[in-house]
C-alpha cells in the first residue's frame, strides 16, 4: 500500500506509529498544550494535531487501545470512529471515561489506534423478497446454544 500523507497542524504533533512490525493499528497520540482531565462518565475531545489523506477506496477506523481501556477505563465514546477518505480535518478522538476515577491525559500519550482498511460501497436495491437461509430471521443469540 502507498504511504498515508499526513499534515501536522501543530508543530509538536506526533505522527502515528506501529507498536510492532505486524501491528494492524497505528497509535494516535494526544497533542496538548496542557493535560486534560476526563471525569467519570465524561467524554472529552482529544486532539491529535494531525490531518491525513486517506486514499479513495479506504477508510480509517479509530479503535480503543486495549491497555488504556482495560487499565484506565478510557475508550472512544463512539466505540469505533470512522474516517472517510474525503475528510481532511484534524483527527480528534472523543475519549469516554467508563471508570469511577478521573483520568488525566498528557501530551504525547497514546490515546487510540488507527486501522486503515479497504471499504466497499455497493448500491442498494429494494426488493419484496430475500433469499431464504437456514438462519432466516433469527436474531441476537439465535445461532448459539
Q: Which tens digits make up the pLDDT trace of 84-135?
A: 999 999 999 999 999 999 999 999 999 999 999 999 999 999 999 999 988 8
Could you give the percent of the chain with pLDDT greater than 90? 88
Please tell me whether the overall predicted TM-score, pTM, comes out greater than 0.85 for this model.
yes
Query: Is the pLDDT at 6 greater than 90, yes or no?
Result: yes
Q: Domain map of the chain by residue range?
A: 5-118
Indicate if the pLDDT at residue 33 is higher than 70.
yes
Neighbours of 138 (CB within 10 A): 10
The superfamily CATH assigns to domain 5-118 is: Deoxyuridine triphosphatase (dUTPase) (2.70.40.10)
Averaged confidence pLDDT in the chain: 94
Partners of residue 116 on adjacent β-strands: 60
Is pLDDT at 1 greater than 70 in this prediction?
no
Q: How far is CA 106 from CA 3, 74, 111, in A?
A: 28, 13, 10
Q: What 3-state class would DSSP assign to 38?
A: strand
User: What CA–CA distance (Å, rounded) separates 59 from 141?
Assistant: 30
**Nearest residue to 47 (alpha-carbon basis) of 102, 112, 118, 97:** 112
Q: Can you tell me the distance from the alpha carbon of 70 to that of 46, in angstroms, rounded to the nearest whole number?
A: 19
- Say if residue 57's pLDDT is above 90: yes
Cα separation, 41 vs 46, whole angstroms:
16
Q: What pLDDT is stored for residue 137 in this prediction?
A: 75
Give the pLDDT of residue 135.
80
Amino acid at each position: 500500500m502507498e504511504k498515508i500523507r499526513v499534515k501536522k497542524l501543530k508543530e509538536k504533533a506526533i505522527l502515528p506509529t506501529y507498536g510492532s512490525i505486524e501491528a494492524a493499528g497505528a497509535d494516535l497520540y494526544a497533542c496538548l498544550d496542557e493535560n486534560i482531565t476526563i471525569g467519570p462518565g465524561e467524554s472529552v475531545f482529544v486532539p491529535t494535531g494531525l490531518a491525513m489523506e486517506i486514499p479513495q477506496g479506504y477508510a480509517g477506523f479509530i479503535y480503543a487501545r486495549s491497555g488504556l481501556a482495560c487499565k484506565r477505563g478510557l475508550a472512544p465514546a463512539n466505540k469505533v470512529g470512522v474516517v472517510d477518505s474525503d475528510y481532511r480535518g484534524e483527527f480528534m478522538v472523543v475519549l469516554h471515561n467508563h471508570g469511577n476515577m478521573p483520568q488525566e491525559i498528557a501530551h504525547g500519550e497514546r490515546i487510540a489506534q488507527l486501522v486503515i482498511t479497504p471499504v466497499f460501497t455497493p448500491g442498494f436495491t429494494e426488493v419484496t423478497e430475500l433469499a431464504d437461509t437456514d438462519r432466516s430471521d433469527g436474531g441476537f443469540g439465535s445461532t448459539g446454544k
